[in-house]
Amino acid sequence: MSSTDQAVLQHGHRDDYGSRMGMWLFLFTELILFGGLFIIYAVYRYMHQQEFHMAAQELNTTIGLINTIALLTSSMTAAMSITAMQKGNIRFSKGLIWITIGFAFMFMVNKFFEWSAKINHGIFPGSKDLLAKPDGEILYFGLYYVMTGLHTFHVIIGVIFFLFILRQIKQGKIHSTRYVRLENSALYWHLVDLIWIFLFPLFYLIH
Amino acid sequence: MAKTAMPEEKVEPSYLEVSTNKHKKGILSWILSVDHKRIGILYLFSMMAFFTVAVIFGFLIRLELIAPGRTIIDAQTYNQLFTLHGIIMIFLFIIPGLPAVFGNFFLPIMIGAKDVIFPRLNLMSWYMFVFGGLFAVASMLLPGGSADTGWMFYVPYSVRTNTNVLPALIAAFILGFSSILTGLNFITTIHRMRHPDMSWFKMPLFVWSLYATAWIQVLATPIIGITLALVGIERLLGVGIFDPALGGDPVLYQHLFWIYSHPAVYIMILPAMGVVSEIIPVFSRRSIFGYKFIAFSSLAIAFFGSLVWAHHMFTAGMSDTAQFVFSFITYVVSIPSAIKVFNWLSTMYKGSIKLDPPFLYVMSFIVQFSIGGFTGLMLGALSLNIHLQDTSFVVAHFHYVMFGGTGFGIFAAMHYWLPKMFGRMYNLKVATWAWGIVTVGYNMLYMPMFIMGYLGMPRRYFDYLPQFQPYHVASTIGSWILIIGLIIMFTNLWIGMRKGPKTSMNPWGGETLEWKIQTPPILENFHEVPDIHAGPYDYSKYEAKKETTK
Amino acid sequence: MSEHQHEESHVIEYGNYIFIWLGLLAFTGITVTVSGIDLGNWTIAIALFIACVKSWYVLNYFMHMKYEDKVFKIFIVTALVTFMIFLGFTFWDYSFVR
Amino acid sequence: MFTSASNFTNSVDAVFLYIAGLSLIVLIGIIVAMVYFVIRYSRKRNPVPTHIEENLTLEILWTVIPLVLFISMFYFGWVGYKDMRAIPDDAMQINVTARMWQWSFEYPNGLKTDTLYVPVGKAVRALLHSTDVNHAFFIPAFRIKKDVYANKNNDIWFRSEKIGKYDIACAEYCGLQHSGMYSAVYIMKQEDFDAWYKATSAKAGLQPTLTAQVLK
């Protein structure tokens, strides 16, 4: 143990390492939160394989693919913004964050059209068309709405995080030697990406 | 007898006089303070308020059951009362009782830190706790009344009943996240804020138990969060997830519910075991027996505890494989608990024991927790479980572990640490009497439930067959004795806290760090951290000779 | 415990990120293509395997896990093992005759 | 408490007595040891404590011995449970329907009753269905219980051993009248049952036959 640990004890000392550790622990809770949904998905898909297969035909793979690419790319720009910050290139870093936010909006707009199309087709919770379908399809669409809905909610929170970061950069609270909040927001954003990496094949690619 | 005179003059104003914020006095200096000790105190009082409410509910439930048929309340009210009793006791008393109150107050001190690593997050957890709690209680005032589902919210009843289930679900959700944030804070604090000399195996066992608990809080609680959220969504929007009418599987709900709620039992009991491991060496003036075994058994309990959830579902009609596996692991998970009990007993062996109130509560803990454990073995046996499941035998077993165990652990912690927290001592004689009354009343309340449970008295029954009445009467009288004991105990603690004689730095002769600093502690706990090299349970100054057998 | 006391800030070059990103896109392409071929139960296994590979890269490079301390790696394994237990043990019930 | 009402009563009680007996011995051991230590090593009698760190042999002993005992408990529980799952082929099938808050029983010929009548010594298989929320079919005297769900086909079986009337309770919380959801099972002599079955079926205009079922 070195003397810096003693410094940790000093009041008001900054511990970036500790902040990241706390953020990771928080990400685990998010992971398990979605994990609960994945367990439900796994069980119902196991019980109703054919019906999940049928229901998945209703989803548009292209939209899903575009959203996957959007999230992967935004994940990259979020990671790059840290590099830019570390190099002291604050303007570039801000630009990259804005690009990330842009992709997030693209994702949400896509999602909005996707959901509206479903709802126009009469597929939404409690609708007559949906209730007429077999059990497995009702469950599939129930899970589809809940899981992509919760995911989109996380996208929104991620955007709020980044807007907050931009504000703090402007205020000078985040700079090239102090950027753990940017790192943590990026971590959160990558988690959103990670979840989607699984959601995409599980909902869109059952052919 | 505790030294009641003040041996050293007070050098500095304590945390009770100095807050972390600009408010010098008044409520704002408390509810806006990020000092871990003040937050601990906030938790203490809010928790006690909720506890009082839940005890009153419990009292009413018992009173109703003194005779078959309607006695004082109708069936609907009864159902709502036992639901709220469960929700409040579990989410607002037992779970936060030790970690959030005494963990917050003493964890940083015990590892030689000035605060937890995220003080503001800590305060936010408390706000979530209060907010969630008020949600649960306030739902009683809404038209339709509070939830009547039982604290397990079993689907599809919880989706269909007309009472206000949603506020209760939201309350449990918020409280879950409050608990997660506390756990996250503790893990990071233990990793990052330990004093350089405080190596892992010099940590007090209470800290070890909190560490194990915190991991369960972080990794299991989200499951209940999402599950209850889904029930809420299902109620609100009619999304098909669990409701069998929409193709859902109610047994899957039970799986998810117990994936959290079984480990939650260990969130509740582990810190109490930590308290016991603290108190026994102090009052026996002996180093704890098998430090590493107790420390690792906490981690083992945390791990195995997450593998056994489905033993709550043996009558649900699971596959035989699942029945076999979950029953078997249930027996494995009992081993670490047994190890702890034997190590505690061995710590008393050749000690120098003083029967002060904290130790008395620990003795009750050991006996009652053992009874809870043994009846747990009965419930783990498959064929027997089929008969006992959902009877008052389970209710008694659960209360023996959670109240006879954790509840008494909380009482022990109060008698042990409150003098340190407030700098004043309660009346030891009254406390001893209160202990006797509480223990007698407690056992009289729950022991009859084992018998009538075996005879076939189902749980959550508003009315019952006449042959069960003698047991119910005995149980209800027990509840009166228990409540009298509780009143005496808490009044004594309250008076002691306000007006009792001032205590010294170390009234019990403990060796962990909190006993080596000023009473009550100063704002940032230490100017200089006391010497840690000796380890947490070093009583060599009293001891005769060393007997290290390997 | 190997908890380093001071911060070593790893600067990862933009080029590396672009490289990883291209890899991720390639894997996405593979998943979409493979999902078109009917391989029975293997379809979902392959899709999940590719998803895991993608997550591995996101975790290690985008999320910098590769450069973090051992503690972080132990943490993440703990979390994943816990989740696998929750998922796997649920199937003690579902994958056998009830 | 221990009159044998069904084929499971004795085996379940035996497991109970086995675990309870072992537990009681250990519990008394714990209490005696604790009280003895508290008295023998009180601060007055023993002002100077002895330092004892740990003892590996002891730790191993009290890990292994409980483990062996626990596994024996598990084994007896499992054996008893396996019997509960081994439904005989000649069992009489009864459809049991649970709704808030009553039970209904349907015999193979379609006869419906709200109380269960069963000939003594005959294996009975109850197929459990719910029309609304979860319930649980519980006959305390027979030591059997099973949850009842709306879309899950749980079943349960028993062979009664003693003539008499036994309570059927609902053991899974199901709302307002949960505690009133009692019914009864009458265990009768075969002749009495046949007479009852014939008469009641005739009254309902149904064939008083069980043969299809019995042969199955």
Indicate whether C61 and C80 sit together in one domain: no
Residues in chain B within 8 Å Cβ distance of A10: 114
The model's pLDDT over D64-73, given as tens digits with 9 standing for 90+, comes to 999 999 999 9
Confidence of residue B309 (pLDDT cuts 50, 70, 90): very high
CB of C46 within 8 Å of a chain A CB? The answer is no
Q: Quote the domain boundaries for residue D121.
A: 92-215
Q: Three-class SS of residue D81? A: helix
Chains contacting C (3 or more CB pairs within 8 Å) = A, B
Determine, for residues D171 and B290 on separate chains, whether the beta-carbon distance falls below 8 Å: no
* Complex confidence, ipTM: 0.92
Would you say residue C97 has pLDDT above 90? no
Amino acid in the structure at residue B494? W
Would you say residue B10 has pLDDT above 50? yes
Indicate whether C88 and C72 sit together in one domain: yes
Distance CA D21, CA C82 (A): 36
CATH code, domain with A24: 1.20.120.80
Indicate whether C18 and C61 sit together in one domain: yes
- When divided into structural domains, chain C yields a total of 2
Indicate whether D114 and D183 sit together in one domain: yes
Neighbours of B263 (CB within 10 A): 29
Amino acid in the structure at residue B43? Y
The model's pLDDT over D138-194, given as tens digits with 9 standing for 90+, comes to 999 999 999 999 988 899 999 999 999 999 999 999 999 999 999 999 999 999 999
- Using DSSP, how many helices (H) and how many strands (E) does chain B show? 18, 1
The verdict on residue A41 lying in a domain is yes
Min CA distance, A65 vs chain B (Å)? 26
The verdict on residue D4 lying in a domain is no
State the average pLDDT for chain D.
Answer: 90
Q: Indicate the residue among D85, D103, D135 that finishes a domain.
A: D85
How many percent of chain A have pLDDT more than 70? 93
Burial B470-495 (b: 16+ CB within 10 A, else e): ebbebbbbbbebbbebbebbbebbee
Q: What is the dihedral of CA B78, B83, B89, B92, to 10 degrees?
A: -130
List % helix, strand, coil for chain B (3-state, nearest 5). Answer: 70, 0, 30
Provide φ and ψ at D125, rounded to 5°: -110, 120
Instruction: Using CA coordinates, name the residue in chain B closest to D100.
Output: B157
Q: Three-class SS of residue A191? A: helix
Instruction: State the alpha helices, DSSP H only, in B349-468.
Output: 357-380, 382-388, 392-401, 408-422, 428-454
Confidence of residue B545 (pLDDT cuts 50, 70, 90): low
Place of tokens 């026996």: B284
Distance CA D195, CA C73 (A): 74
Indicate whether D69 and D114 sit together in one domain: no
Which of B191, B215, B322 is nearest residue C96 as measured by Cβ atoms? B322
Instruction: Please name which of A4, D11, A162 lies closest in space to residue C4, comparing C-alpha atoms.
Output: A4
Would you say residue B412 has pLDDT above 70? yes
Instruction: Using CA coordinates, name the residue in chain C closest to B315.
Output: C98
Query: Would you tell me which residues 332-351 of chain B have a C-beta closer than 8 angstroms to some C-beta of chain D?
Result: 332, 334-335, 338-339, 341-343, 345-346, 348-351
- When divided into structural domains, chain D yields a total of 2
Chains contacting D (3 or more CB pairs within 8 Å) = B
The verdict on residue C95 lying in a domain is yes
Neighbours of B56 (CB within 10 A): 13
Output the DSSP codes for B27-60: THHHHT---HHHHHHHHHHHHHHHHHHHHHHHHH
- Cβ–Cβ < 8 Å for D7, B313: no
> What's residue D1's pLDDT?
44
Indicate whether C49 and C82 sit together in one domain: no
User: Which of the residue ranges A8-22, A186-200, B315-329, D10-24 would you say has the lowest mean pLDDT?
Assistant: A8-22
Residues 6+ apart with CB under 8 A from B456: B391, D138, D140, D141, D167, D169
Indicate whether C56 and C34 sit together in one domain: yes
Distance CA B76, CA B66 (A): 17
Indicate whether C95 and C57 sit together in one domain: no
Strand order in the sheet with D123-130: D112-113, D102-106, D92-99, D123-130, D154-159
The model's pLDDT over B204-243, given as tens digits with 9 standing for 90+, comes to 999 999 999 999 999 999 999 999 999 999 999 889 899 9
Residues in chain B within 8 Å Cβ distance of D23: 374-375, 377-378
Alpha carbon B235 to chain centroid distance? Answer: 31
Which of B188, B239, B524 is nearest residue A146 as measured by Cβ atoms? B239
Determine, for residues A138 and B240 on separate chains, whether the beta-carbon distance falls below 8 Å: yes
Indicate whether C46 and C94 sit together in one domain: no
- When divided into structural domains, chain A yields a total of 1
Q: Quote the domain boundaries for residue C76.
A: 68-98
Instruction: Compute the average pLDDT of residues A83-102.
Output: 94
Q: Facing residues of B139 across strands?
A: none
The model's pLDDT over B498-522, given as tens digits with 9 standing for 90+, comes to 999 999 899 998 989 999 998 899 8
Would you say residue D3 has pLDDT above 70? no
The verdict on residue C1 lying in a domain is no
Determine, for residues D49 and B251 on separate chains, whether the beta-carbon distance falls below 8 Å: no
State the average pLDDT for chain B.
Answer: 91
Instruction: Please name which of B136, B86, B87, B106 lies closest in space to residue B39, comparing C-alpha atoms.
Output: B106
Residues 6+ apart with CB under 8 A from B274: B98, B204, B205, B206, B207, B208, B209, B210, B298
**Test the C interface: residue of B306, B308, B328 with most C CBs within 10 Å:** B306
The verdict on residue C2 lying in a domain is no
> What's residue A95's pLDDT?
95
CB of A193 within 8 Å of a chain C CB? The answer is yes
Would you say residue D212 has pLDDT above 50? no
Indicate whether D123 and D141 sit together in one domain: yes
- Cβ–Cβ < 8 Å for B263, B269: no
The verdict on residue A197 lying in a domain is yes
Would you say residue B182 has pLDDT above 60? yes
The verdict on residue A5 lying in a domain is no
Indicate whether C61 and C73 sit together in one domain: no
Residues 6+ apart with CB under 8 A from B69: B463
**Test the C interface: residue of A180, A197, A200 with most C CBs within 10 Å:** A197
Q: Indicate the residue among D50, D85, D120 that finishes a domain.
A: D85
The model's pLDDT over B26-76, given as tens digits with 9 standing for 90+, comes to 888 888 899 999 999 999 999 999 999 999 999 999 999 999 989 999 999
Q: Facing residues of D118 across strands?
A: D187
The verdict on residue A10 lying in a domain is no
Q: Three-class SS of residue D159? A: strand
Distance CA B497, CA B495 (A): 5
Q: Three-class SS of residue B460? A: coil
> What's residue A9's pLDDT?
43
Neighbours of B143 (CB within 10 A): 5
CATH code, domain with D166: 2.60.40.420
**Test the C interface: residue of B193, B194, B216, B259 with most C CBs within 10 Å:** B259
> What's residue D25's pLDDT?
95
Residues in chain C within 8 Å Cβ distance of A52: none
The verdict on residue C80 lying in a domain is yes
Query: Would you tell me which residues 518-547 of chain B have a C-beta closer than 8 angstroms to some C-beta of chain A?
Result: 524, 529
CB of B237 within 8 Å of a chain A CB? The answer is yes
CB of B363 within 8 Å of a chain D CB? The answer is yes
CB of C97 within 8 Å of a chain B CB? The answer is yes
The model's pLDDT over C47-90, given as tens digits with 9 standing for 90+, comes to 899 999 999 999 999 999 988 889 999 999 999 999 999 999 99
CB of C28 within 8 Å of a chain A CB? The answer is yes
Q: What class is the B28-516 domain? A: mainly alpha
CB of C90 within 8 Å of a chain A CB? The answer is yes
> What's residue B547's pLDDT?
54
Indicate whether C49 and C15 sit together in one domain: yes
Half-sphere CA count of D12, side-chain side, radius 13 A: 31
Q: Three-class SS of residue A13? A: coil
Indicate whether D196 and D134 sit together in one domain: yes
Query: Would you tell me which residues 64-83 of chain A have a C-beta closer than 8 angstroms to some C-beta of chain B?
Result: none
Residues 6+ apart with CB under 8 A from C51: A197, A198, A200, A201, C31
Would you say residue B116 has pLDDT above 50? yes
The verdict on residue D138 lying in a domain is yes
The verdict on residue D129 lying in a domain is yes
Indicate whether D159 and D57 sit together in one domain: no
Q: Quote the domain boundaries for residue A198.
A: 18-204
The verdict on residue A6 lying in a domain is no
Indicate whether C61 and C26 sit together in one domain: yes
